[in-house]
Amino acid sequence: MAWMKDPKEFWSGVLFMVFGAFALLVSNGYAMGTAARMGPGYFPRALGALLVILGALVSLRGLRVEGESVPKFFLRPLIFVLGTVVVFGIVIPYTGVILGTLLLIFVSSIASHEFRWRSALVSGIVLAVAAVLIFIVGLKLQLPIWPWPWNQ
Amino acid sequence: MDILSHLAMGFGVAMTPINLVYALLGVLLGTLIGVLPGIGPVATIAMLLPTTYALQPVSALIMLAGIYYGAQYGGSTTAILVNMPGETSSVVTCLDGYQMARRGQAGAALAVAAMGSFFAGCVATVFIAAFSPPLSEFALKFGPAEYFSLMCLGLIGAVILASGSIIKAIAMIVLGLLMGIVGTDVNSGAQRFVFDIPELVDGIGVVSVAMGLFGFAEIVSNLESKEKREVVSSKVKGLWLTMAQFRAAAPAVLRGTALGSVLGLLPGGGAMLSSFASYTMEKKLAKDPSQFGKGAIQGVAGPESANNAGAQTSFIPLLTLGIPENAVMAMMVGAMTIHNIQPGPQVITSNPELFWGLIASMWIGNAMLVVLNLPMIGLWIRLLTVPYRLLYPAILLFCAIGVYSVNNTSMDITLTAVFGLLGVVFVKLSCEPAPLLLGFVLGPMMEENLRRALLLSRGDGWVFFHRPLSAGMLTVAIVLLVITLLPNIRKKREEAFHEETA
């Protein structure tokens, strides 16, 4: 892509412009007010406009000045790390700390290049016990220990 | 001798058994994460923030502060023994510290790092005690216009002293300010950017933002490449210095302490900037600069003292002005807010035992670090041999439970994961996340002060230039910005950062 000399800069700028435009669009619905009596829409709209301008400057620089390309994204760690955490948050009230920990440790371990299921399982068990001791016994967090049918 | 009586009260608070335990816990945790690469103080403080709910505010802050300066100690250990910076502030320690270790002087390198840090910590503690009260008294005279200008200056300063593209960093601040606005508007009660998600009514939690951008994103990035780590000198003996080494190191420690204490005060300053600047200075002042990079003891002594001094004095703007100057201080703002303490000049007078207790605990924590860490180095080295594939799931688990426990909702974890994804995108695009976190924390304060200033002036925007103090700060901010954007200086600045990281 010869017209885009610095893809990193260019796409950073695009990202900023998207965020800025989004903020402008949403805060359009908030009362603007006057400078003396600022409404809830005043500050966000000013920031949104500023972000669009800054983003445009960054992107323009990306078109003119030579730079680096954007490194590629690796899906495996993204899915197994972030995805597992989201699932953990949703199921924890039902699975309890022990089962939830085993699940989180085991599945998130798959993200590594050197996944070994045996050591993942062992560390899951150790950490499940540690989590119960630290968070429930020690810090007294309001979380169930056991899975749903037994956690009443 | 007001300071002495205040310090005495501070030690009274910090020496209570419970606070001693939390100081110890803080510095131990700090050393641990300092030793382990891949998790920094920001993510750790975010992880522990929820667990401090039940504590006294002063105990919570003592522990969290201990994590920050403890990490500076731990970071040097990894840098010297493994040639890998445990923290960004130890990057330059690798250069000469590792070379010393390869020459069999690991013990001397570790000893000088620890003792330099201790000395710097003591000086910085006195520095904070002496400078904070007058500064906060001065800041009490600030009106909303001054505060708004001060925040502008702080944010601009933070951007200029950080590496990387300035426009991008400013855009990151603005993005952070926008994210800080999410939630219910205090003035009108209007809900902004809430999108009918009940968990967003009270705003996005600082824990989610920090843990996503600094914790999760880091883990994902680390997992993209295969790990390579080897501990070279597993046997460390002779944790002491020869007379010649001591004589070479002492002036560097003094210079590093002075430099770090001052640089810690600047916006964007703190541990990292101080250590880089100190290394450059030592190299310039050395009789034989060619020794640098080959195991010069000054190259370890200076930066290690400087980063500890800088880590501590960066508390001054937070405690006196209420302005965080780096990402760790932004987390401290979060910690104070959780305990219903509004950071600012009134903290010294309204919570004297908190203020002086925290300062005294820094000295105690530093003493603990020296006493504990030198004998425990063997243990820390053994920890380094735990492979990352076992480590990161455990970090994830603690993060996830920590975030969940803030409000007991799964929405917070999802939000953190979204910030994690955003953080990965930022890493790929070389956008620094620290300015975003600063903007995020300052966003609500900035809007509030802007509003009040303009309300008082009846909508006249020139109010910021009519009041001398405010005008002065804004002028400095604008001049700084223009100077750094001039082509010549920009080139120099890029070269400077390049040289330091190369």
CB within 8 Å: B224 and A77: yes
Question: What's the pTM?
Answer: 0.88
Cα atoms in the 13 Å half-sphere on the side-chain side of B251: 7
Q: Which of B300, B291, B259 is nearest to B76 (CA)?
A: B300
CB pairs under 8 A between A and B: 194
Nearest to B390 among A77, A111, A123 (CB): A123
Q: H or E element: which one contains B151?
A: helix B144-161
Distance CA B286, CA B310 (A): 22
Angle formed by the axes of helices B41-48 and B388-407, nearest 10°: 40
User: Does B184 contact chain A (CB < 8 Å)?
Assistant: no
Chain A residues in contact with B187 (beta carbon < 8 A) = 38, 40
Nearest to B393 among A12, A76, A104 (CB): A104
- pLDDT (tens digit, 9 = 90+) per residue, B73-108? 888 888 888 777 777 778 888 888 888 888 888 888
Chain A residues in contact with B405 (beta carbon < 8 A) = 135, 139, 141-143
CB within 8 Å: B223 and A23: no
User: Got the DSSP string for A28-93?
Assistant: TTS--B-SSSB-TTHHHHHHHHHHHHHHHHHHHHHHHS--PPPPPPPHHHIIIIIIHHHHHHHHHH
Q: Are B19 and B58 in contact (CB under 8 A)?
A: yes
Number of Cβ atoms within 10 Å of the Cβ of A140: 9
CB within 8 Å: B413 and A86: yes
Q: How far is B462 from chain A (nearest CA, A)?
A: 12
Burial class from Cβ neighbours inside 10 Å (0-12, 13-18, 19+) for residue B436 reads buried
Q: Best residue in A4, A64, A82 to probe B by mutation, most B CBs within 10 Å?
A: A82
Nearest to A16 among B171, B226, B400 (CB): B171
Chain A residue with minimum CA distance to B461 = A35
Chain A residues in contact with B458 (beta carbon < 8 A) = 36
Nearest to A139 among B51, B220, B389 (CB): B51
ipTM of predicted complex: 0.92
Q: Best residue in B166, B223, B405 to probe A by mutation, most A CBs within 10 Å?
A: B223
CB within 8 Å: B392 and A11: no
Q: Are B293 and B95 in contact (CB under 8 A)?
A: yes
Nearest to B397 among A9, A120, A131 (CB): A131
Q: How far is A31 from chain B (nearest CA, A)?
A: 9
**Per residue of chain B (502 residues), what is the pLDDT tens digit?**
577 888 888 899 999 999 999 999 999 989 888 888 767 888 888 888 887 878 889 999 999 999 988 888 888 888 888 777 777 778 888 888 888 888 888 888 888 998 899 999 999 988 888 888 888 888 888 889 999 999 998 888 888 776 678 889 999 999 999 999 999 888 888 889 988 888 888 889 888 999 999 889 988 988 887 655 555 555 666 677 788 888 888 899 999 999 999 888 887 777 778 888 898 888 888 888 888 888 888 889 999 999 889 988 989 999 888 888 888 999 999 899 888 888 888 888 888 889 999 999 999 999 998 887 777 877 887 777 788 888 889 889 988 988 888 888 889 999 999 999 999 999 999 888 889 999 998 888 899 999 999 998 888 888 898 888 899 999 988 988 888 777 666 666 666 665 544 4
Nearest to B389 among A20, A57, A109 (CB): A109
